[in-house]
């Protein structure tokens, strides 16, 4: 018996129907296709479609599909054609025919002085400029949003890209959503260094630079009046511009954007338990993820750049949960727990700070949870963050308690950096370089802090250089850390120079560490920070005994790879 469904696929089976395109799922090309038949949806092929993405549908998807179909049938096909994915069958447009930009909503001014064309436009037939303002099409952003979903979401689990794309498709004039999308694209490109990879990452489209996305994000934010119309979306645009700025070394701008995001969080009420009371589980957990992302990011940024914190640790907030729906990873929850330990320790009462430091070091030395993570990127991040925190708390102990060379307690002895360095090399030795570099400047920053602390101890407490409790002495550890840092992509010349000088003083020949991190907003600040004021104190301690406080902690801070 012949089926009533037309099972013959349409010409070019890589062309998706309209519902499958909005859902970002694979379409079999039939009419109706299997997915539409199962969902009882109207299967139409009114516009060109392409690659699949995250699976759905979510609650907003069906509404987005119906609205899209209605607008196309109403005669807006030409406008939406620039929002579609490029199809790759024989009838699809060529790269030069497919629009990179689309018109902005009427009434928005075009500021040509802040715009820049993409980095790699080589086609001589690039579309001629329009008289109306233009913006990056949703189709051109889709690839980078997919990269965020695949590689960045575990680090910043706060944006549902399927819902974001659906919002952009159904509301082309939504400048708030456009601002968030372009800010995510800018941070994704800079975080994963897509611009440095050969060839265009977007089939059928021109490559777009991270700087171009940033300029569009800023313009969209002004158009949506983000400073007055404060929402979670406008907060996230500030956060992702913080990430982008940090990734390209603009640390002052990065600090301002992060402060802006936290101020918006306070205005909205993310720090108040009452804010979450009337929410359903999904909404509550999403907003809690935003709060904790800001919390750990600010703690990280504050420690690394010596700025005071704004966002307080609220004790009575709802618990951040793993709903096992892919919205959050166990690694992110572990990271939040680590920064909570750090915050509790740094803010401990002066009379009990030594006990608090001892307890924190014991908690941070347990790396079983990190070793149990299946994802290598997450394992690298959690493992390195734990060891970095151990070094930071050891440095903090210098300002609040006494250290001696022969102290029986490791966390209060000068040999402790060597112990941490050994753990770092042991944990990272089983990880690929790609899993380390994927975390951007934050990973290199943490590695440098460990190496720098060990180098200072070796220089100013030379008796420790003969210590080899691990069959590897401090000189071996220092050489290995220097070599590891030298192999990283990117880097800061000022910090490179400082580490190279210390290696030279120690008589260690490491092939020039050419790629480290940006710890400050200027070369002078980098060099001053890297030289570390602890050195003079250690030198004095070898002559006069106990070390006096010398590295005041301004507020509280902590490291996170916003980088993570």
Q: Which helix (H) or strand (E) holds 362?
A: helix 353-365
Same domain? For 270 and 175 the reply is yes
Q: Is residue 50, in this structure, part of any structural domain at all?
A: no
CB–CB of 322/331 below 8 Å? Answer: no
Same domain? For 173 and 163 the reply is yes
What pLDDT, on the 0 to 100 scale, is given for residue 558?
A: 31
Same domain? For 273 and 246 the reply is yes
Same domain? For 360 and 485 the reply is yes
Query: In which domain, by residue range, is 409 found?
Result: 330-514
- The stretch 55-76 carries a mean pLDDT of 58
CB–CB of 503/516 below 8 Å? Answer: no
482 or 358, which is more confident?
A: 358
Same domain? For 319 and 417 the reply is no
**For the purposes of burial, counting CB atoms within 10 Å of the CB of 361, is it exposed (0-12), middle (13-18) or buried (19 or more)?**
buried
Query: Mind listing the pLDDT tens digit for each residue in 466-522?
Result: 665 556 778 888 888 877 777 766 555 566 677 788 888 887 755 444 333 333 334
Same domain? For 474 and 426 the reply is yes
**For the purposes of burial, counting CB atoms within 10 Å of the CB of 75, is it exposed (0-12), middle (13-18) or buried (19 or more)?**
exposed
Q: Is residue 132, in this structure, part of any structural domain at all?
A: no
What distance in Å separates the CA atoms of residue 190 and residue 184, rounded to the nearest whole number? Answer: 10
What pLDDT, on the 0 to 100 scale, is given for residue 1?
A: 45
**What does the mean pLDDT of the chain come to?**
74
Q: Is residue 167, in this structure, part of any structural domain at all?
A: yes
Q: Is residue 96, in this structure, part of any structural domain at all?
A: no
Look-up of token digits 């990430």 = 243
Q: Last residue of a domain, which of 300, 328, 356? A: 328
What pLDDT, on the 0 to 100 scale, is given for residue 115?
A: 35
219 or 514, which is more confident?
A: 219
Sign, CA torsion 295/298/301/302: negative
Q: Is residue 261, in this structure, part of any structural domain at all?
A: yes
**For the purposes of burial, counting CB atoms within 10 Å of the CB of 324, is it exposed (0-12), middle (13-18) or buried (19 or more)?**
exposed
Contacts by 58-65, CB closer than 8 A, 24 or more apart:
58/160, 58/162, 58/163, 60/163, 60/166, 60/167, 61/22, 61/23, 61/162, 61/166, 63/170, 64/22, 64/166, 64/167, 64/169, 64/170, 65/18, 65/19, 65/22, 65/23, 65/41
Same domain? For 418 and 320 the reply is no
Q: Does 334 have pLDDT greater than 90?
A: yes
Same domain? For 280 and 352 the reply is no
Q: Does 124 have pLDDT greater than 50?
A: no
What pLDDT, on the 0 to 100 scale, is given for residue 68?
A: 62
What distance in Å separates the CA atoms of residue 115 and residue 27, rounded to the nearest whole number? Answer: 37
CB hemisphere CA count around 561 (13 angstroms): 36
Q: Is residue 32, in this structure, part of any structural domain at all?
A: yes
CB–CB of 64/38 below 8 Å? Answer: no
**For the purposes of burial, counting CB atoms within 10 Å of the CB of 208, is it exposed (0-12), middle (13-18) or buried (19 or more)?**
buried
What pLDDT, on the 0 to 100 scale, is given for residue 504?
A: 83
Q: Is residue 475, in this structure, part of any structural domain at all?
A: yes
Domain CATH for 28: 4.10.240.10
Confidence of residue 406 (pLDDT cuts 50, 70, 90): low
128 or 505, which is more confident?
A: 505
| The total number of structural domains that make up the chain | 3
Same domain? For 321 and 335 the reply is no
End-to-end CA distance of the chain: 59
Q: At what angle do helices 138-147 and 161-170 cross, to 10 degrees?
A: 170
Q: Last residue of a domain, which of 497, 514, 531? A: 514
- pTM of the predicted protein model: 0.66
Residue of 458, 499, 456 whose CA lies nearest to 475: 458
Q: Is residue 107, in this structure, part of any structural domain at all?
A: no
What distance in Å separates the CA atoms of residue 209 and residue 524, rounded to the nearest whole number? Answer: 29
Tokens of 410: 């490791």
Same domain? For 501 and 377 the reply is yes
Same domain? For 222 and 354 the reply is no
Same domain? For 240 and 336 the reply is no
């Amino acid at each position: 018996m012949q089926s009533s469904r037309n099972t013959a696929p349409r010409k070019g089976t890589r062309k998706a129907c309209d519902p499958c395109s909005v859902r970002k799922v694979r379409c079999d090309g039939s009419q109706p296709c299997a997915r539409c038949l199962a969902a009882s949806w109207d299967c139409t092929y009114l516009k060109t479609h392409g690659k699949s993405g995250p699976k759905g549908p979510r609650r907003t998807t069906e509404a987005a599909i119906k609205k899209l179909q209605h607008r196309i049938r109403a005669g807006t096909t030409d406008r939406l054609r620039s929002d579609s994915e490029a199809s790759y069958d024989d009838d699809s447009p060529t790269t030069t025919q497919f629009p990179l930009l689309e018109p902005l909503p009427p009434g928005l001014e075009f500021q040509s002085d802040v715009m820049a064309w993409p980095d790699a436009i080589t086609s001589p037939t690039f579309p001629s400029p329009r008289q109306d303002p233009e913006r990056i099409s949703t189709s051109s952003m889709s690839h980078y949003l997919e990269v965020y979903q695949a590689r960045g979401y575990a680090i910043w689990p706060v944006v549902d890209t399927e819902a974001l794309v659906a919002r952009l498709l159904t509301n082309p004039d939504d400048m708030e959503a456009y601002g968030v999308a372009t800010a995510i694209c800018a941070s994704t490109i800079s975080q994963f260094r897509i611009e440095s990879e050969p060839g265009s990452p977007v089939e059928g489209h021109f490559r777009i630079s991270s700087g171009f996305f940033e300029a569009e994000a800023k313009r969209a934010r002004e158009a949506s009046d983000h400073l007055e119309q404060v929402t979670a979306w406008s907060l996230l645009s500030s956060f992702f511009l913080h990430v982008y700025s940090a990734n390209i070394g603009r640390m002052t701008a990065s600090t301002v954007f992060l402060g802006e995001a936290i101020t918006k969080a306070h205005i909205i009420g993310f720090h108040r338990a009452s804010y979450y009371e009337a929410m359903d589980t999904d909404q509550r957990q999403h907003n809690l993820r935003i709060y904790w992302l800001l919390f750990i990011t600010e703690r990280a940024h504050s420690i690394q750049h010596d700025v005071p914190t704004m966002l307080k640790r609220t004790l009575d907030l709802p618990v951040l949960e793993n709903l096992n729906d892919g919205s959050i990873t166990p690694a992110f929850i572990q990271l939040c727990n680590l920064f909570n330990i750090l915050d509790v320790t740094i803010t401990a009462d002066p009379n009990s700070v030594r006990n608090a430091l001892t307890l924190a070091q014991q908690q941070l030395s347990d790396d079983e949870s990190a070793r149990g993570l299946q994802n290598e990127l997450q394992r690298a991040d959690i493992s390195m963050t734990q060891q970095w925190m151990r070094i930071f708390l050891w440095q903090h102990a210098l300002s609040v308690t006494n250290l001696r060379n022969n102290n029986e307690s490791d966390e209060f002895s000068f040999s402790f950096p060597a112990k941490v360095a050994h753990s770092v090399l042991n944990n990272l030795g089983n990880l690929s370089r790609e899993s380390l570099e994927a975390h951007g400047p934050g990973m290199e920053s943490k590695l440098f802090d460990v190496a720098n602390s060990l180098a200072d101890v070796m220089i100013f407490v030379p008796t420790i250089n003969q210590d080899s409790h691990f069959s590897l002495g401090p000189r071996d550890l220092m050489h290995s850390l220097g070599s590891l840092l030298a192999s990283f992509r990117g880097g800061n010349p000022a910090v490179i120079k400082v580490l190279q000088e210390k290696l030279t003083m120690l008589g260690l020949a490491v092939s020039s560490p050419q790629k480290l991190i940006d710890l400050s907003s200027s070369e002078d600040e980098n060099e001053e920070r890297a030289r570390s004021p602890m050195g003079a104190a250690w030198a004095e301690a070898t002559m006069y005994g106990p070390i006096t406080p010398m590295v005041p902690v301004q507020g509280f801070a902590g490291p996170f790879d916003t980088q993570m």
